[in-house]
Amino acid sequence: MRLLPLDKETLEMLDEFITRGGPIKYGDKILIFGIGRHRAWQIIKDYAVKAGLPRLVNPETGKNT
């Protein structure tokens, strides 16, 4: 499990999303946005490229991600 700091406005939006039926059961997991960790990473990575952000370097392997 990972903990993320969220501001009040973000928590309110997330609560509204959940109240409207947001989470999806997928096998034995509950996915908040209906996508898995890997797909979420792909989306974030794609938008980072479009925004012109530099690629991240894994400090353990030295590889670009």
- Nearest CA among 38, 39, 64 for reference residue 53: 64
- Least confident stretch, 14-18, 41-45, 54-58, 61-65: 61-65
User: What is the per-residue pLDDT for 50?
Assistant: 93
Domain assignments of the chain as residue spans, ordered by start: 24-65
Contact between residue 65 and residue 56 where contact means Cβ atoms under 8 Å apart: yes
What pTM does this model have? 0.48
**CA separation, residue 22 to residues 6, 35, 38 (Å):** 18, 12, 19
pLDDT 10s digits, 25-36: 888 887 777 777
